[in-house]
Amino acid sequence: MLIIFDTNVWISDLALASAAGSAVRFYLREQKARICLPEVVRLETEVNLRQSLTEHIGKIRSSHSQLLAVFGQLKEVVLPTQEDVESLISGVFSKVGVEIEEVPFTLDNARASLMRTVHKIVPSDKNQQFKDGVLWENCVKSLEKDSVSLVTNDTAFYQERKYDLGLAKQLRNEIHDTVHQFHIFPSLAQLLSQIKTEFQINSTAFFDAFMSQRGTELAALATERSFALEGQHNVNIDAFVTENPAVLFFNFKIEIPCSDASNEGRTDTRIIINGHGTYHTDARNFSDLAVREEKLVYRSKEGDEKKIRSVYAAIGGVVLGHRMVEYSVRYPLS
C-alpha cells in the first residue's frame, strides 16, 4: 500500500507530527505501508515550510520587541536561527518513521501535466494547476505496482469539487482498468478511519516484565502485613500513540489478589498498582516502567475497608535559566 500526501497535508499537519499525523504514521508502520513522496510535493513542501517557519519566527521576534518597549526589560527570547530552519527542512521527511519511496520529477510527467493544462483537464482545468497534474501522473504511475491512497484537500481532484462525491469522474475513467485500487481522502482523519486496526499490548508479557522488576518488593509488602500473593491477577492497559511511531506510551493498572496468612479474618485483599511506561513496537519490549501509586486494600473482620497506600512522585532536576520543553503526542489507541 502506497500513501501519497499532498503538500497541503504535509504543511497543515506539521509534517505528520500532529496528533492525527502521528496516529497515521503508527498504523502505516504497523501495516508495513509506504509513503510515496513525489518530488513536486517535496519541493513545494520545503518551500512553504521554510516560508511558514520564517514568518512564525519573525512574528514572535516582532511581538517580543513590542513587549520590550512597553515593559522596558524582559528575558531574552531564544529563537531558531536560519541555519536551524534549514537543518530541520533538510531532515523533515527522514524523521517520519515510515518507509518513504521518492518519485522523481520527469519530463514525461511535465509533458502530461502541460497537456492537461492546455486542454483544461482535471485537476488542471481551472487555474493552470501544473503541480496537480504532475501529482496525478505520479498517482497513475504508482498504481502500476501497488494500491494507492491520495490524501489531499485540494478540491481540483474531486467530482464537482465536492469531497463527498469522491474522485472526479474523468480521473476515475483514466484508472478504470487498473489492477490495483485507488482511494482519495480529504483529511488525515478520514484516512485514519480506514487504516486504523485494533492493536493491543500483550498484558501477560507486560505483567511478566513488571514482576521481574517489582515482584520481590510486592511479595515483601504482602508478607510484612501477613498476607501472601495468591490468585489470578488482573491488568488494564490504556495505550497512546506518541510522536515516535515505533513507541507507545501507556498507563496501567494491576490488581494482584492476596490471601490472609494470619487468623484475623481479613478478606477481599489485593494490591493495586497504577503507573505508566513505554512499549517499543519493533522489539516488543517495555521500558521506563514507573509506579505512581501502590496500595494494599482489604476488608477487616468487621467488614470495614482498609487501605495502606504509597504514592510515588517523579521529581525533575533543578533547571537554571530557561527550561527546555519538548513536543509530545498522546493519541489514544482505543
Q: Is 160 left (phi over 0), alpha (psi -120 to 50) or beta?
A: left
- The amino acid occupying position 115 is M
pLDDT tens, 238-256?
A: 999 999 999 999 999 999 9
pLDDT in tens, the chain (334 residues): 999 999 999 998 888 988 999 999 999 999 899 999 999 999 999 999 999 999 999 999 999 999 999 999 998 888 999 999 999 999 989 889 999 999 998 888 777 777 777 667 767 666 657 888 999 999 999 999 999 999 999 999 999 999 999 999 999 999 998 999 999 999 999 999 999 888 889 999 999 999 998 888 888 888 988 999 988 999 999 999 999 999 999 999 999 999 998 888 889 999 999 999 999 999 899 999 988 888 889 898 888 888 887 755 544 444 455 566 778 889 998 6
User: What count of other Cβ atoms lies within 10 Å of the Cβ of residue 137?
Assistant: 22
pLDDT at 125: 63
Backbone angles phi, psi at 145, to 5 degrees: -120, -15
**Cell reading at 115:** 497537456
Residue of 208, 211, 150 lying closest to 182 (CA atoms): 150
For 4-28, b/e burial (b = at least 16 CB within 10 A) is: bbbbbbbbebebbebbbbbbbbbbb
Cα(264)–Cα(269) distance, rounded to whole angstroms? 12
* Residues present in the chain in total: 334
CB 148 within 8 A of CB 180: yes
Instruction: Characterize the bridge pairing of strands 182-185 and 148-151.
Output: parallel
CA distance 276 to 295: 16
Q: Which among 234, 275, 228 has a CA at the least distance from the CA of 255?
A: 234
Q: What is the amino acid identity at position 21?
A: G
Judge contact between 97 and 21, C-beta under 8 A.
Answer: no
Which among 204, 207, 224, 201 is positioned nearest to 279, based on CA atoms?
Answer: 201
Contact criterion met (CB below 8 Å) for 205 and 170 = no
CA distance 65 to 254: 52
CB 73 within 8 A of CB 17: no
Grid coordinates belonging to 102: 521518492
Angle between helices 107-119 and 130-142 (to 10 degrees): 120
Beta bridge partners of 229: 258
pLDDT in tens, 284-309: 999 999 888 888 898 988 888 888 87
Rg (CA), the chain: 28
d(CA 63, CA 81): 17
Overall pTM > 0.85? no
- pLDDT at position 317: 46
